[in-house]
Amino acid sequence: MELILANTGSYPRVGDTPEQQRLRRAHHEREQGQLGAEAFTRLQDEVTGEVVREQLAAGVELPTDGQIRWADGLSYLAANLNGVSVNGLLRFFDTNTYFRQPVVTGRLTRRGPLFSHDYRQAARAAGRPLKAVLTGPYTMARGSILEGGYRSIHALALAYAAVLAQEVAELAEEGAPVIQVDEPAILRHRADLAILGEALVVLARGKGAARLSLATYFADPVPVYDDLQELTIDLLHLDFTYSPALGRVIGERGASKALSLGLIDARNTRMETRETVFPVLDQVGRRLRTPAHLAPSAGLEYLPRDRARAKLEAMRRLRDAYVGDRR
């Protein structure tokens, strides 16, 4: 079985050493007006390079930029769009983190490219192409307060899709081999799968040679597993930590899409072992389209930085041992 080691999305931007806290200090200085925009961007670039190299050193073969610029999963995008303002805090799914809710009051348009700078800078630091990660249009729409411009979540999701399609096209042009669209909200609103399907068709139009990946996490994907296989995507990321049955389901039903196996728990410090990972790989292995990805269940910023790195290192050891054992 060929398993590519991938990061899923975010990586902790701050660690416990003073050196690893310089972005935190810089944010504070920026808020106090003691640090200029240019110096702040330079530091963000530096830290991006640092977290990309850390992923590579841990053995990740398809790293991300770590999303270290993202204030949260929604407002980073919303703050750069016309027709949206940013409102109060809301808990981000079942995490102990919060996001600022976009408030949509008019038609959505981009003020300019959002992610291509982030991607270009991170890819330069990595010396190789990366996975690009965006919050998807359905989750953006579901997390927004709709006050104007559109009449429904459906219309708003398609409007976000139109905006994000431009980003997808630019990222593809930059050479991103995988462009991942994060849609955790769909697992809580299964009745809206058709909306997500339409939005993904819009995104797929601009993907060029890149593979379009859909990432679901923070809930059990089993109830919609078959539906997810029907979407216009090349790769499907699944969070195994909410579902003891997922491995069995994949083993029984197979997969028409290439899968990213989110077997490394990005929300808990307990380390994965052969006993927790190998049986699932055995269940799914014969039904996988290869190459598949092995990845953390979600973004890693929910873990302390040292544990995040340790998890990635464990992921490499487990993959190598599994492939060695089964050869």
Partner 1 sequence: MSRAKLASLGLDLPLLPTTSVGSFAKPDYLVEARARHARNELTQAELERLEERATEFWVREQEEIGLDVLVDGEMYRGDMVAYFASLMGGFTQGGLVRSYGNRYYHKPIIVGEIKWPGPMTVGWWKKTQAMTRRPVKGMLTGAYTIMDWSFNDHYPGRRPAAMALARELRKEVEALVEAGCKIIQVDEPALSVRPEELPVAIEAMHVVTDGLPAYFVTHVCYGAFEFIYPAMLDLPVDNWDLEMSNSGLDLVDLFRRHPFTKDLSFGVVDVHTHVLEEPDVVKERVARALSVLPTEQVWLDPDCGLKTRTVDETIAKLRLVVEAARAARRSLGVTR
Q: Could you list the residues that contact partner 1 (CB under 8 A)?
A: 12-16, 21, 24, 27-28, 31, 71-72, 88-91, 93-99, 145, 188, 268-270, 301-307
The residue among 39 and 98 lying less far from partner 1, judged by its C-beta, is 98
If one counts every other C-beta atom within 10 angstroms of the C-beta of residue 182, the result is: 26
Tell me how far, at minimum, the Cβ of 93 lies from partner 1, in Å. 7
Least separation in angstroms between CB 153 and partner 1: 14
- Give the residue among 259, 272, 282 at the shortest CA–CA distance from 6: 259
Q: 114 or 185, CB closer to partner 1? A: 185
Q: Which is nearer to partner 1, 67 or 260 (CB)?
A: 67
**Crossing angle of helices 305-326 and 274-285, rounded to 10°:** 50
Could you tell me the smallest distance in angstroms from the CB atom of residue 202 to partner 1? 27
Closest distance to partner 1 from the beta carbon of 98 (Å): 4
- Beta-carbon contacts of residue 151 (< 8 Å; ≥ 6 apart): none
Identify the three-state secondary structure at position 216: coil
Nearer to partner 1, 4 or 14 (CB): 14
In degrees rounded to 5, what are phi and psi of residue 107? -65, 140
Instruction: Report the residue number, 95 or 105, with the smaller CB distance to partner 1.
Output: 95
Least distance in Å: CB of 16 to partner 1?
5
Q: How far is the CB of 270 from partner 1 (least distance, A)?
A: 5
Between 140 and 179, CB nearer to partner 1: 140
The sheet that has 211-215: what strands, in order across it?
A: 3-5, 292-296, 258-264, 235-239, 211-215, 178-182, 131-135
Beta bridge partners of residue 102, listed in sequence order: 86
Separation CA 179–CA 167 (nearest Å): 10
* Residue 197: how many other CB atoms lie within 10 Å: 17
CB 301 within 8 A of CB 73: no
CA distances in angstroms from 22 to 28, 45, 50, 174, listed in the order given: 10, 12, 12, 29
CB of 27 or CB of 248, closer to partner 1: 27
CA-closest candidate to residue 299, choices 114, 22, 93, 28? 93
Which residue, 55 or 101, is less far from partner 1 as judged by CB?
Answer: 101
Smallest separation, CB 72 to partner 1 (Å) = 7
The residues facing 100 across adjacent strands are 89
Q: Using CA atoms, how far apart are residues 277 and 327, in angstroms rounded to an integer? A: 17
Question: Could you give the maximum distance between any two Cα atoms of the chain, in Å?
Answer: 59
φ, ψ for residue 232, nearest 5 deg = -80, 75
Which residue, 15 or 221, is less far from partner 1 as judged by CB? 15
Cβ at position 267, least distance to partner 1 in Å: 8
CB of 264 to partner 1, least distance (A): 14
